[in-house]
Every structure is written in C-alpha cells, then in structure tokens.
Amino acid sequence: QSALTQPASVSGSPGQSITISCTGTSGDVGAFYYVSWYQQYPDKAPKLMIFDVTKRPSGVSNRFSGSKSGNTASLTISGLQAEDEADYYCTSYTGSSTFIFGTGTTVTVL
C-alpha cells in the first residue's frame, strides 16, 4: 500500500491561486468520494481543511476548495495569503475503515 502521490512543493505569490494534486489508484481515490485534506504548520498537529472531496468544516476559509477527477484529487487555494504557507496532506478512504495518506506538499508563498 504505497502513499498517495503529491508534488513535493508548490509556490505562488500573494493573491494567486495554486492547486495541489493527490494521485492514487482505482482502489482508493478513484473508488471512493472520501478524500480529505489537512494543513500542518511546523511542529503542530494537522488540521482538517476539506472532507468528502469538496466539503469544508465550519471555520475553514472558502478560499480552500477541493475536487476530484478519476484517480486524482485536488486542493485549490485561491487568493493565496502568507498564512497559507504550510504543509498539506491528502488522505483517502480505502475501504473497511482503512486509510492512506499522501506524501505531503509544502506550500510556499513568495
């Protein structure tokens, strides 16, 4: 069970939009509409940003949005801000209460 594939790093200028991809297989991302995304600052616990591919928990900015096509899910951050500089991880449900995480992406605000 290999980790989902994410780009190691993505960068953008303030105000721009960036997209982070999360590529799996037909057994995980492609099989279920249950992808979630987490934001993690250095030495902090991850925070849920998106669940069920597109849904935002209460309190998460609407600048964060999710989507999925086939075996690839994506997280888009629009109107990039300095506070968005962090690591981001995707996770997919893989059936029978099991999960797989992505490799993680470092977002840099230029």
Q: Which of 23, 28, 29, 38 binds other proteins (CB under 8 A)?
A: 38
Question: With contact defined as beta carbons under 8 Å apart, do 28 and 35 qualify?
Answer: no
Find the part of the chain contacting other proteins (CB under 8 A) among 10-18, 21-29, 51-59, 64-72: 51-59
Site for other proteins in 53-92 (CB under 8 A): 57, 89, 91
DSSP 51: B
Rounded Cα distance, 50 and 104, in Å = 15
In whole angstroms, give the CA distance from residue 75 to residue 90: 9
Where along the sequence are the contacts to other proteins (CB under 8 A)?
1, 3, 32, 34, 36, 38, 45-48, 51-52, 57, 89, 91, 93, 96-104
